[in-house]
Structure 1
C-alpha cells in the first residue's frame, strides 16, 4: 500500500487539493447566496445582467433587462419580446470556482498562479457576458433551438475554453511544466 501511495503521490495531492479548494470555495459562495432572500437576486447576477445590457446597448440593440416581479431572476427583453432570463447559475461563478480550484491544485509560483487565475476569471466573465448577449439574439431568432444553443453549444464553448486554459496552465506555468 505504501508503495502505491508513494507512486501516486502527485495525483493524490492534486485530487485532495482540488477537492478541498473546490469545497471551501463552493461553501463560501453558498453562504454568500444564502445572505439573499429567496425573492432577491444576488449582486453578482445583477452585475452580469447590467453588463449584458451595456454590451447590447453599445451595439444599439433594443434591450431591456428587468427584475422579475415574482421570481429571483432577470427578464431579458429583446426587440420588445421576452426572450430569456438570467438566473443565479448564469453568472459563471460555479465555472470560475472549478477553474480556480484546478489551477490552484496544479499551482506554480504564487504570483504566476494569482495572475493566471485573475486573467482566467476576467476571460471567463467576458466570455460569459458575450454568451448571454449572443444567446439573447439567437433565442429571439431561433427559439426552437433553445436546447441546442443553451444546453449544448454554449456549455461546449465555455468548458472548451476553460479546458484550453487548463492545458496552457499545466504545460506552461504549473510546477509540473517542463
Structure 2
C-alpha cells in the first residue's frame, strides 16, 4: 500500500488540493448566497454588478440598454430599447467558473507569489470576458432571437469554458516546463 501511495503521490496531492480548494470555496460561496442577499443590490451584489456592468458595455456599443430587477426569477433583466432579452441569474456571474479555475490552479501550484498572481490575473480576465460575453449574448439575442437556444446553450458557454481551459493549459505548461527545466 505504501509503494502504491508513493507511486501516485502527485496524483493524490492534485486530487486532495483540487477537492479541498473547491469544497472550501463552494462552501464560502454558498454562505455568501445565503447571507449576502440585499434589497439594494438584488438578487446579490455580484450578480447585480455583472448586470450593471453588462448594461454599460451594451450602451458603449451604441444601444439603448437598461436593466431592472426580475423578481420572480431572482435575477436582473437586461433590455435593449425596452425589449426584454435576457436574465442575469446567479449562474451568469462567473463565480462558479472562477472557483473551478482557482481550484485547478491551486492543485498545480508551485510558488505562492506566482500562483497568487496568476489566480488574480485569471479571475480578472474571466470576470471581464464574462461581462463581454453576457453583453454580446444580449445584443445577439436582440438581432437574432430565433437563435436563442444555440447562442445561450452552445456558443456563449463555449466562450467562457474555452477561455478557462486555455488558461489551465497555459498554467500547466508554464508550471511543468519550469519544473522540468529546474530539475
Q: Same fold (TM over 0.5)?
A: yes
Partner of 2:100: 98
TM-score, with normalisation over the residues of structure 2? 0.91
Aligned mates of 1:48, 1:56 — CA distance in 2: 12
2:25 equivalent to 1:21: no
Unmatched 5+ stretches in structure 1: none
2:32 equivalent to 1:32: yes
Deviation of the 1:127 alpha carbon? 0.7
Partner of 1:138: 140
Please list, as runs of the form range in 1=range in 2, the aligned pairs for 1:99-178 lying within 5 A after superposition: 99-173=101-175, 177-178=179-180
Q: How many residues align?
A: 178
Aligned mates of 2:177, 2:69 — CA distance in 1: 45
Pick closer, same or farther for the CA change 1:164–1:37 going to 2, 3 Å. Answer: closer
Q: Is the 8 A contact 2:98 2:126 kept in 1?
A: yes
Segment drifting more, 143-152 vs 85-94 = 143-152
Deviation of the 1:71 alpha carbon? 3.6
Deviation of the 1:138 alpha carbon? 0.8
Partner of 2:62: 60
Deviation of the 1:58 alpha carbon? 1.7
How well do the aligned residues superpose, as a CA RMSD in angstroms?
Answer: 1.8
Q: Which runs of 4+ in 1 moved over 2 A?
A: 36-40, 173-178
Q: Is the 8 A contact 1:53 1:63 kept in 2?
A: yes
Secondary structure of 1:41's counterpart equals coil
Secondary structure of 1:60's counterpart equals coil
Aligned mates of 2:147, 2:179 — CA distance in 1: 41
Partner of 1:4: 4
Deviation of the 1:80 alpha carbon? 2.2
Aligned mates of 1:174, 1:130 — CA distance in 2: 31
Deviation of the 1:38 alpha carbon? 9.7
Q: Is the 8 A contact 2:77 2:87 kept in 1?
A: yes
Pick closer, same or farther for the CA change 1:69–1:29 going to 2, 3 Å. Answer: closer
TM-score, with normalisation over the residues of structure 1? 0.93
